[in-house]
Structure 1
């Protein structure tokens, strides 16, 4: 591609969605069955599809999923960037950069103040302000390591495939992690239940209340846990007893769990195979709007100035005066003066660093120690008190 004037960035019209799907299938090397296509088409109302056109031909594309994610127990609008792909003959021409810049603007206009994506390469998206913000603990247990715990007073019932009961359990659990999706009915139907195939079982306590579930598949003597969600220890014991009763069919069990999962500690032999793997990257799209919605710690009043560097979203690049009241609600306004002239605790960082901090992935003191958060000790300590500790995890892929 020689002439940048030939490039047009615009929404992909309905009649070209099939072509966009074929580009994704080619780029990510998967077969697109008719069933796959039907489920993907059902999700289109919850997406924006953007294309880069060269001489009128679709050359590259991306999708923005209209999500909500939990941050400090509150569901906030989030733009999930996915399906970033370019036909080979148009690669290395800057098309993806143009699409990303358009996506940032589109998300801002839609009120999606934060964005997640799964990167093909962390360094590439770091250039545009996204930062690594979540990990998974990949666990592998051979059959002899499966726990033989008592099943508890409740019971495990195989599910009929409906999503409503699962959603009730999932939502109570998901609110305890930064990053988890607030799943819609469409996402349950066309993504979770469609892609995480196999069996589903629900744990009901003695009172008959649903308190946990497991989605899993047994194939070639491997039990793959898609999701295991327990609202209390009793439910966890019951679900693991249920899984362990598959032992005659298995050689091993695998599970991608939150990094704070304590299963190895609970086992008689904790020497199971574990690997911590990075997953999503996050980026604050609109700094003042996100700070305005962010649930800071209650009972921790404070006021500080924050200078943000963000070359790809110029609306963020300013000095922001942030005042947090006793309820944890912030009032954010652009400071009329330069940072050094304000008689307030002063901090400065990139939008990447702020994203890692407010996602709860890294603390203010750590970021200050490694030089990514600049400011006086007093200001760093204030920010550390204002941002509540919260585990980060996301169990969905998009």
Structure 2
């Protein structure tokens, strides 16, 4: 077979859309107007067999919050392979080309929502969290303790700037959320506000400290009526209580709120911790995977937990660009990296060695060094395990956007 990997052109769109329809359903997909396609910020890649499209993907150039910084990110979506050509290595070839371009553009990490995680583990991606839909009964929410010093009101277009500030303040303290600055999440403001039945604001001392965006749903029988909540983000427990209580006022006519969220158990978003009853039902789970593309761009200047002394580590990645050895120092909470010439083939080298998957899990703060050893993603001396675990801990993984 004469296989070619290249960027998709507008002339390829009929086949690109056909392959997407086959893979993801939903019926035939129309070819977008040329001017819309040319102005779109995403990048499309394909593998062609004698000129015919055999596989495809899309790359979004976005930024994600990790360790207190907005990290340039290659968000992968829409991966599809013709069924007759699956299992022939087309995905790997396509990713190699798309991620090489991403590194050239300065994108330090790549993330995706997999349909089958095992496919992407072989490419160095690992599951770091999940974006879920959770059902919570509104009659239980209505029993939330009353907040002190908080008022609620309906948002208008003039409040979008305050809403984005609340999101940024929350997201900057987590690992994983999109910054929502590259894609038109909030713009035009009229559309953002108009997409919801309501956006409720929690206001303390004249300052917006939380918001909930919701769609009421149809019906008035609590047994079968559901509202959807896209965002419930609060910067204080009082704001969280006020937002939940507002939703709870619907409990006589709406039985359930389906909330888009992430984290569970000890990793649950703190806005949930104010509820008197944490019984909930997870109805959809979307695992989220990460791969580091450029160690130095991902870590230099990151805000990490301070540890004493220099900490050496190395990575054996799926390609030369990710493999290497570094020494990391955290000064004033800020990480500084120095590449170190180390022969990883030498059995007597002096540092712990991560797989690409282990690096992704450690970077996200999703697993400790000890657990990475249990999973086979960290080997070598254990001297610095405590320091590695401590440096990357302290921020929970949360995701609030699907792409």
TM-score, L = length of structure 1: 0.86
8 Å contact from structure 1 (residues 61, 85) kept in 2: yes
Corresponding residue of 1:24: 20
8 Å contact from structure 2 (residues 352, 382) kept in 1: no
User: Residues 115-130 of structure 1 correspond to what in structure 2 (within 5 A)?
Assistant: 115-130=110-125
Question: Residue 168 of structure 2 aligns to a residue in which SS?
Answer: helix
8 Å contact from structure 2 (residues 131, 402) kept in 1: no
1:367 and 1:314 map into 2 onto residues whose CA distance is: 22
Mapped pair 1:231 → 2:235: yes
Mapped pair 1:178 → 2:181: no
User: Residues 211-250 of structure 1 correspond to what in structure 2 (within 5 A)?
Assistant: 211-220=209-218, 221-250=225-254
1:167 and 1:42 map into 2 onto residues whose CA distance is: 28
Mapped pair 1:373 → 2:378: yes
Query: Residues 178 and 41 from structure 1, CA distance in 2 versus in 1: closer, same or farther, beyond 3 angstroms?
Result: farther
Mapped pair 1:361 → 2:361: no
- Cα deviation, residue 137, structure 1: 5.8
1:294 and 1:347 map into 2 onto residues whose CA distance is: 20
Query: Residues 257 and 336 from structure 1, CA distance in 2 versus in 1: closer, same or farther, beyond 3 angstroms?
Result: closer
Mapped pair 1:331 → 2:337: yes
Corresponding residue of 1:99: 94
2:193 and 2:28 map into 1 onto residues whose CA distance is: 13
Mapped pair 1:135 → 2:130: yes
- Cα deviation, residue 297, structure 1: 2.4
2:37 and 2:193 map into 1 onto residues whose CA distance is: 14
| Greater helix proportion | 1
2:358 and 2:55 map into 1 onto residues whose CA distance is: 29
1:174 and 1:191 map into 2 onto residues whose CA distance is: 21
Q: 2:105 aligns with which of 110, 128, 153?
A: 110
- Cα deviation, residue 307, structure 1: 2.8
- Cα deviation, residue 92, structure 1: 3.3
- Cα deviation, residue 238, structure 1: 1.5
- Cα deviation, residue 341, structure 1: 5.0
1:315 and 1:231 map into 2 onto residues whose CA distance is: 39
Question: Residue 377 of structure 1 aligns to a residue in which SS?
Answer: coil
Q: 1:294 aligns with which of 302, 307, 314?
A: 302
User: Residues 306-317 of structure 1 correspond to what in structure 2 (within 5 A)?
Assistant: 306-311=313-318, 313-317=319-323
Corresponding residue of 1:187: 184
8 Å contact from structure 1 (residues 303, 321) kept in 2: no
Mapped pair 1:46 → 2:52: no
* CA shift digits 1:73-107 (9 cap, x unpaired): 21011100111112334433322221011122111
Which shows bigger deviation, 357-366 or 204-213?
204-213
- Cα deviation, residue 262, structure 1: 4.8
Corresponding residue of 2:222: none
Aligned length: 387
8 Å contact from structure 1 (residues 309, 351) kept in 2: yes
1:195 and 1:85 map into 2 onto residues whose CA distance is: 34
- Cα deviation, residue 371, structure 1: 4.1
- Cα deviation, residue 185, structure 1: 5.9
- Cα deviation, residue 47, structure 1: 1.4
Corresponding residue of 2:4: 8
- Cα deviation, residue 138, structure 1: 4.5
2:18 and 2:158 map into 1 onto residues whose CA distance is: 30
- Cα deviation, residue 120, structure 1: 0.8
TM-score, L = length of structure 2: 0.85
Q: Cα RMSD between the aligned structures?
A: 3.1
8 Å contact from structure 2 (residues 17, 29) kept in 1: no
Where in structure 1 are there 5+ consecutive unaligned residues? none
Question: Residue 393 of structure 2 aligns to a residue in which SS?
Answer: coil
- Cα deviation, residue 324, structure 1: 0.8
Question: Residue 329 of structure 1 aligns to a residue in which SS?
Answer: strand
- Cα deviation, residue 290, structure 1: 2.4
8 Å contact from structure 1 (residues 62, 81) kept in 2: yes
Query: Residues 194 and 12 from structure 1, CA distance in 2 versus in 1: closer, same or farther, beyond 3 angstroms?
Result: farther
Query: Residues 42 and 316 from structure 1, CA distance in 2 versus in 1: closer, same or farther, beyond 3 angstroms?
Result: same
8 Å contact from structure 2 (residues 18, 29) kept in 1: no
Query: Residues 43 and 227 from structure 1, CA distance in 2 versus in 1: closer, same or farther, beyond 3 angstroms?
Result: farther
